[in-house]
Amino acid sequence: SQQGEEDPQALSIQEGENATMNCSYKTSINNLQWYRQNSGRGLVHLILIRSNEREKHSGRLRVTLDTSKKSSSLLITASRAADTASYFCATASSNSGYSTLTFGKGTMLLVSP
């Protein structure tokens, strides 16, 4: 079963606006990661937040993590057309001593010029 679930499934905004995507999960985690996938390509890692962190920034990206609510959000500020992609959250949990990632179904972001 999927650990992470993104919301919304699709988001359409204009260039310059901010985009916020949310992720909810069900069980305890070691860390939560966000990935980006352009159409027809592999996933690219964006940012990782550990379970003991509440907020993290990377360029125009801001990620928050609320372990009490089992949720995370990804904020992209001042969006650009090039940000058009699918965004996935992935939760890391230990299985037999090895941590594997469980991905959500993703949010499709469309940024119009």
Q: Which residues bind another protein (CB under 8 A)?
A: 1-2, 30-31, 33, 35, 40-45, 48, 50-51, 88, 92, 95-96, 98-106
Nearest CA-CA partner of 95 in 22, 11, 3: 3
Q: Name the strands in the sheet holding 5-7, side by side, starting at the edge strand that comes first in the sequence.
A: 5-7, 19-24, 71-76, 61-66, 55-58
CB nearer to another protein: give 27 or 113. Answer: 27
The least distance separating another protein from the CB of residue 43, rounded to whole angstroms, comes to 4
CB nearer to another protein: give 52 or 113. Answer: 52
Nearest CA-CA partner of 4 in 23, 17, 18: 23
CB nearer to another protein: give 68 or 95. Answer: 95
The least distance separating another protein from the CB of residue 110, rounded to whole angstroms, comes to 17
Nearest CA-CA partner of 13 in 96, 85, 90: 85
